[in-house]
Chains A and B, each alone.
Chain A
Amino acid sequence: MTTQPVTLPRRLTRRRSEEETGRPVWEEEPSFLGRLSKPVVLGLVILLVTFPLYVVVVTSLSSTEAVTRAGGLVVVPRELTVAAYVQLLSGGVVTRALLISVVITAIGTFFSLAITVLAAYGLSRPGSLLHRPLLFVVLLTFLFGPGIIPSYLVVNSLGLINSYGSLILPTAVSAFNLIVMRSFFMGIPGELIDSARIDGAGEFAVLSRIVMPLSKAVVAVVGLFYAVGYWNAFFNAMLYLNDNNKWPLQMVLRTYIVQEQVLPTGAGGVTSTGIGLAPAPSLAIKMAIVVIAIVPVLVIYPFIQKHFTKGVIIGAVKG
């Protein structure tokens, strides 16, 4: 083992140390096949996720001529322009839907987060009055759903059909998020809370001054989950909103991209030159709608991503 011929290059003879590779000294060097297959598989996985996004973005930024020349989606970017976005965002269906989605997401997230934080704290103090039956009421919702039809009838009888309230209230509480947050709160040392209480702090003061500042990570993750939920909500909108003028962005996406219906004239996609003469919206415009639906997720994602594992594992493994 120690008598390697000196003529061989060093990298073939000397075992690279643990500091250099991060590999424990007892572990064998990967075989050639292992060395090759790992980057290939992982590279393929990354490509599968990013390539469709790339194509959509490039097409949305391409000029009409470039799209025509490519015969559809554009893979090699040339003649980039933001014309599609300018058209979409200068009023019309997409602008309105975007605004609705943004406002619903903002209000809904704030509301959900607020009641979730309150309830998670209220259920996190061991031994408090009724906390076990109330916790049970929350946990029981995991086991069964009420069903589509009865839910619809309740929303209907509350007069929420065609109102924005139907997009927020029925799904305002996520038991999962509540439990994740409660688990986190229960991990905060009780001595800290007791000492605040000795100093005369009430429950609300304890929550806002002690617990919240310690829980920024979990609040961020749960907030993201709620925000993404509201942003992506399509089911509630489809079920409860009959009025096209109140559609959020996901409904627009479904109608004009998945179902390939033609954008209404004067809706930011097409200039009307007469009934029946409106051309189908160009592919660039369609792809721009897709991109507009992706961008908010992409923007907040990096900020919250580092907290995922922590937040999710608390809920998933420890319970």
Chain B
Amino acid sequence: MTTVGSSLRPKASRARGSAKAGGASWRHRLRRDWPLLAMVAPVIVLLGVFHYFPTLGNVIAFQDYSPYAGIRGSDFIGFANFERMFSEPAFWSALLNTLAITAFQLVFYFPVPIFLALLLNSVLSVRLRTLVQGVVYLPHFFSWVLVVSLFQQMIGGAGLLAQTLRSNGYQAVDLMTKPDSFILLVTAQSIWKDAGWGMIVFLAALSTINPALYEAAAADGANRWRRLWHITLPGLRPVIVLLLILRLGDALTVGFEQFILQRSAVGGGAAEVLDTYVYYQGLLVGDFGYGAAAGLFKGVVGLVLVLLANRFAHLVGEQGVYSRS
């Protein structure tokens, strides 16, 4: 969501304080700026300890890691963990599941916030818009546990749907434990939870489109559909491309909590994604080096995907996630 772009661009022209933009000595600047550095310090320390340090800890992917020996005491075994991983059918199945779910959500989830935003944008009553926004943003603030609980109560084996079917003499269905339709279920959950929230960016983009464009188009005889096609959609294009890129860059992450919560109900065949695979192989089985290898694979491929997607965005002339500086 965040455009890293403008923040990385040089701001040197707006040198602060006295006019010593380039001239102030290091020592002088330290004396002037130490309170600022002290303010940033806690965050940097926390990121160092809980983000950068563990990142280095990924070396155990190349080790026969033993918790008792630690990183220093464990033997390096090169790429053996990775070789084992690539020969493991369970790993490929998790990878395929992840990609399938991403592709499915790209087709069936991605357009929903755009559609909702277009629909809501065309509602003229401000009060009605505020009401709808207030309601549809809400599920974004629920935890996945809560969302899964609610779905279970609605369409699960003991849920409202099954209960209604049963009392009317039909066969009850339990949509929460069906591996075949699991991909539909998780997409529906994602839409329920986050489609409304995803709308917010599109609404913002819509509000920046100059209304005079619509009036001019109408004067030229464009009907509402042509105005949508020639004004609204081009106005949304940068945001759509940006979010599409972010989604593609995140193709290997489909949401850990949602899957770990439902894995036991539908079984690993359908619900195993890379994140849950890492969790089960690494922590529950206790095979740390192997789990770290799978996690590292995911991290590195994810990073490459983000960079590639961004390069692609520049090629098609959009600003992308971060700009070339």
User: Which residues from chain A sit less than 8 Å from chain B, CB to CB?
Assistant: 21-24, 26-28, 38, 41-42, 45-46, 48-50, 52-53, 55-56, 70-73, 75, 115-116, 118-119, 121-123, 125-132, 134-139, 141-155, 158, 169-173, 175-176, 178-180, 182-183, 190, 197, 202-204, 207, 228, 231-235, 238-239, 250, 253-254, 257-259, 287, 290, 293-294, 297-298, 301-302, 305, 308-309, 312-313, 315-319
What chain A residues lie within 8 Å of B84 (beta carbons)? none
Given contacts A144-B299, A147-B54, A148-B283, whether A126 and B14 have CB atoms under 8 Å apart is yes
CA distance A287 to B134 in the complex (A): 23
What chain A residues lie within 8 Å of B141 (beta carbons)? 228, 232, 297, 301
Contact of A313 among B196, B204, B223 (CB under 8 A): B204
What chain B residues lie within 8 Å of A145 (beta carbons)? 51, 299
**Is B213 positioned at the interface, with any CB of A under 8 Å from its CB?**
no
What chain A residues lie within 8 Å of B295 (beta carbons)? 147-150
What chain B residues lie within 8 Å of A315 (beta carbons)? 1-2
Contact of A23 among B4, B38, B124 (CB under 8 A): B124
Given contacts A129-B37, A130-B37, A319-B6, whether A150 and B54 have CB atoms under 8 Å apart is yes
Interchain CB contact under 8 A, A45 and B60: no
Contact of A129 among B30, B120, B218 (CB under 8 A): B30
Given contacts A38-B119, A72-B163, whether A134 and B57 have CB atoms under 8 Å apart is no
- For the residues of B in contact with A, the DSSP-based class is helix
Question: Which A residue's beta carbon lies closest to that of B128?
Answer: A42
What chain A residues lie within 8 Å of B87 (beta carbons)? none
A-B residue pairs in contact (CB < 8 Å), sample of 30: A38-B123, A42-B123, A52-B150, A72-B163, A73-B163, A115-B43, A125-B36, A132-B10, A138-B44, A138-B47, A141-B47, A144-B55, A145-B51, A146-B50, A146-B57, A147-B58, A149-B278, A150-B60, A151-B50, A153-B60, A190-B14, A203-B36, A232-B143, A258-B149, A258-B152, A287-B153, A308-B200, A313-B204, A318-B3, A318-B6
Interchain CB contact under 8 A, A52 and B153: yes
Given contacts A127-B17, A128-B33, A228-B141, whether A153 and B46 have CB atoms under 8 Å apart is no
Interchain CB contact under 8 A, B8 and A139: yes
Most buried by A among B116, B135, B141, B166: B141
CA distance A180 to B116 in the complex (A): 25
Interchain CB contact under 8 A, A173 and B15: no
**Is B275 positioned at the interface, with any CB of A under 8 Å from its CB?**
yes
What chain B residues lie within 8 Å of A139 (beta carbons)? 4, 7-8
What chain B residues lie within 8 Å of A71 (beta carbons)? 163, 166-167
What chain B residues lie within 8 Å of A253 (beta carbons)? 143, 145-146, 149
Interchain CB contact under 8 A, A21 and B124: yes
What chain A residues lie within 8 Å of B218 (beta carbons)? 26-27
Contact of A138 among B43, B67, B257 (CB under 8 A): B43
What chain B residues lie within 8 Å of A203 (beta carbons)? 35-36, 39
Interchain CB contact under 8 A, B257 and A235: yes
CA distance A70 to B261 in the complex (A): 28
What distance in Å separates the Cβ of B224 from its nearest Cβ neighbour in chain A? 7
CA distance A21 to B17 in the complex (A): 53
Question: Which A residue's beta carbon lies closest to that of B162?
Answer: A72
CA distance A125 to B132 in the complex (A): 39
What chain B residues lie within 8 Å of A150 (beta carbons)? 54-58, 60, 292, 295
Most buried by B among A42, A172, A257: A42
What distance in Å separates the Cβ of B44 from its nearest Cβ neighbour in chain A? 6
What chain A residues lie within 8 Å of B76 (beta carbons)? none
Interchain CB contact under 8 A, A134 and B44: yes
Interchain CB contact under 8 A, B116 and A123: no
What chain B residues lie within 8 Å of A171 (beta carbons)? 50
User: Which residues from chain B sit less than 8 Å from chain A, CB to CB?
Assistant: 1-8, 10-12, 14-17, 21, 26, 29-30, 32-33, 35-40, 42-44, 46-47, 49-58, 60, 67, 116, 119-120, 122-125, 128, 131-132, 134-139, 141-146, 148-154, 158-160, 163, 166-167, 192, 196, 200-201, 203-205, 211, 214-215, 218-219, 223-224, 239, 256-257, 260-262, 264, 275, 278-279, 282-283, 288, 291-292, 295-296, 298-299, 302-303, 306
Contact of B145 among A118, A131, A170, A258 (CB under 8 A): A258
Interchain CB contact under 8 A, B14 and A127: yes
CA distance A178 to B298 in the complex (A): 26
What distance in Å separates the Cβ of B130 from its nearest Cβ neighbour in chain A? 9
Interchain CB contact under 8 A, A127 and B37: no
Given contacts A52-B153, A115-B46, A290-B149, whether A313 and B135 have CB atoms under 8 Å apart is no
Interchain CB contact under 8 A, B132 and A141: no
CA distance A184 to B144 in the complex (A): 30
Given contacts A72-B160, A127-B17, whether A293 and B219 have CB atoms under 8 Å apart is no
What distance in Å separates the Cβ of A316 from its nearest Cβ neighbour in chain B? 5
Given contacts A119-B40, A301-B141, whether A126 and B6 have CB atoms under 8 Å apart is no
What chain A residues lie within 8 Å of B58 (beta carbons)? 146-147, 150
Interchain CB contact under 8 A, B39 and A294: no
What chain B residues lie within 8 Å of A141 (beta carbons)? 47, 51
What chain B residues lie within 8 Å of A232 (beta carbons)? 141-146
What chain A residues lie within 8 Å of B11 (beta carbons)? 126-127
Contact of B152 among A125, A238, A257 (CB under 8 A): A257
What distance in Å separates the Cβ of B38 from its nearest Cβ neighbour in chain A? 8
Question: Which A residue's beta carbon lies closest to that of B122?
Answer: A38
Most buried by B among A53, A132, A182, A316: A316
What chain B residues lie within 8 Å of A207 (beta carbons)? 39
Most buried by A among B2, B116, B204: B2
Interchain CB contact under 8 A, A293 and B143: yes
